[in-house]
Amino acid sequence: MLNKKLRYNLGIIKKKSWKIIEEWKKKIIQRVLLPLFFRNNDGIYILEEEWDNLIILDACRFDSFKKEIKNWQIEGRLEYRISRATNTPLFLIENFRDKRFESKCKNIVYVTANPYVNTHLKGKFYKIIPVWDFGWDEKLRTVPPSPVYETALEAVEKYQGKQFIIHFMQPHYPFIKLKISDTSFIRLREKALSGTSKTSGVNVWDLLAKGKISISKVISGYMENLRIAMPYVEKLCNTLPGKTIITSDHGEAFGEKIHPLIPLRIYGHPYGQIRIESLVKVPWFICKEAGSLKKVKKELIKIKVKRLKTKMKLKQYLAALNRLEEK
C-alpha cells in the first residue's frame, strides 16, 4: 500500500516537475536578477518618433524580420529601435499612459488583433477597432492577418487625417501552421469579452517546457507565422498614404541566456522586464512613401467585390441544395 502511494506521488511530481521548475525560475528572475541586471530602461517612446501609420508585428524579433524582409517587395530602409517593454501590456503602459502623450493619443485610430489594447487602454485613443473580437477565426484559434488588413483600409478611408496603429497578432503564437493545442489566445479573448475565462490557457512555451515540442519546431512555427502576415504588411506599405513604419511591441526569446555569466535561458517573453537583446531589439523599417488615398479606395473596391463573390457562391450553393431537396 505504501509503495503504491509512493509511486503515485512520485508520478505527480514527475508530471508537474516542469511547473515547479518554471515557478522557481520565475521567482529567481523577478526577485534577484531583474533588480540586479535590468534596472535601466533605454527604450524609445514611439510617440516621440515621426510616422503616420505604425504597423506592429506582435513579438517580432529584429533578426527574424531582417531575414524575412528580403523576400518582399517593400522599398525602404531597415533600422532598429530598443523597445520600452518585453511584452504587450508593458509596451502599451510604457508608451501610451504617460500624460505627456494624451493629446497625441486622441489623434490615433488603433486597429488591433490583440485584446490587451482594449483591456489596458480603453478610452485612451480617438478610436480602438477590436479586430480580435469580430475577426476571430474559430478554427485557427487566433486572428489571421486578412481581417486586420481589410479593417485598416476601411479605417484609413473613414478617419482621414488621423494617425493609425495597425497591430497584427503574428508572428506571436498561436502558430497557424503548427498543429498543436494552443489555447492561450482563446483565454485572453474570453477575458477581454467577459472578464472571465473558461480555458486553462496553455501556450507553445508551456508545451516546450513539458518536452512536448522541440525548440526547432517552435522557431519554424514562429517564422511561418511571420511569413503569413508579410503579404498584408507589403500591401499596406504600398497602399497607405503618408509615412509608414513597420515595427514590433517586443521581441521573442529562443533560449538566449539571461546574462553571459548565468546559465539561465529565456524562452518566449515572460512577464517582467527581462531586457535581453532578443526581447527589446525590434525592427524599425521606414517604408518609402508609395501609397495614396486613391490606392486605398481601389483596394477597398477589390475587397468589396471579393466579398460579393463569396456571398454569390454561398447563394449558388444554397440554391443547388434546394434543388436537390425538391427532387
Q: pLDDT-based confidence at 249, cuts 50/70/90?
A: very high
Average pLDDT, the chain: 87
Q: What is the pLDDT of residue 324?
A: 58
3-state secondary structure of 135: coil
Is residue 3 domain-shared with residue 70, that is, in the same domain? no
Structural domain range at position 16: 1-37
Task: Using the Cα atoms of residue 114, residue 115, residue 121 and residue 122 in order, give the sign of their dihedral.
Answer: positive
3-state secondary structure of 327: coil
Is residue 249 domain-shared with residue 159, that is, in the same domain? yes
CB 46 within 8 A of CB 247: yes
Give the tens place of pLDDT for each residue, 202-220.
Answer: 889 888 888 899 999 999 9
Of 119 and 326, the structure prediction assigns the larger pLDDT to 119
**Within 10 A of 167 (CB to CB), how many other CB atoms are there?**
26
pLDDT at 7 over 60: no
Report how far residue 88's alpha carbon sits from residue 97's, in angstroms, rounded to the nearest whole number. 13
Q: What is the pLDDT of residue 9?
A: 45
Q: pLDDT-based confidence at 193, cuts 50/70/90?
A: confident
Is residue 177 domain-shared with residue 104, that is, in the same domain? yes
Q: pLDDT-based confidence at 2, cuts 50/70/90?
A: very low
pLDDT at 291 over 80: yes
Is residue 24 domain-shared with residue 46, that is, in the same domain? no
Q: Is residue 317 one of the residues assigned to a domain?
A: no
Non-local (6+) Cβ contacts of 257 within 8 A are: 263, 264, 265, 266, 276
Is residue 151 domain-shared with residue 15, that is, in the same domain? no
Domain with 110 in it: what CATH number? 3.40.720
4-8, 127-131, 226-230, 301-305: which has the minimum mean pLDDT? 4-8
Is residue 18 domain-shared with residue 162, that is, in the same domain? no
pLDDT at 25 over 80: no
Number of domains comprising the chain: 2
Non-local (6+) Cβ contacts of 101 within 8 A are: 45, 47, 95
Is residue 15 domain-shared with residue 48, that is, in the same domain? no
pLDDT at 318 over 60: yes
Q: Is residue 323 one of the residues assigned to a domain?
A: no
Q: Is residue 316 one of the residues assigned to a domain?
A: no
Is residue 152 domain-shared with residue 26, that is, in the same domain? no
Non-local (6+) Cβ contacts of 90 within 8 A are: 84, 250, 271, 273
User: Over the Cα atoms of the chain, what is R_g?
Assistant: 22
Is residue 114 domain-shared with residue 10, that is, in the same domain? no
pLDDT at 19 over 70: no
Is residue 2 domain-shared with residue 116, that is, in the same domain? no
CB 279 within 8 A of CB 267: no
Of 251 and 189, the structure prediction assigns the larger pLDDT to 251
pLDDT at 1 over 80: no
Non-local (6+) Cβ contacts of 95 within 8 A are: 45, 46, 47, 84, 85, 101
Q: What is the pLDDT of residue 24?
A: 57
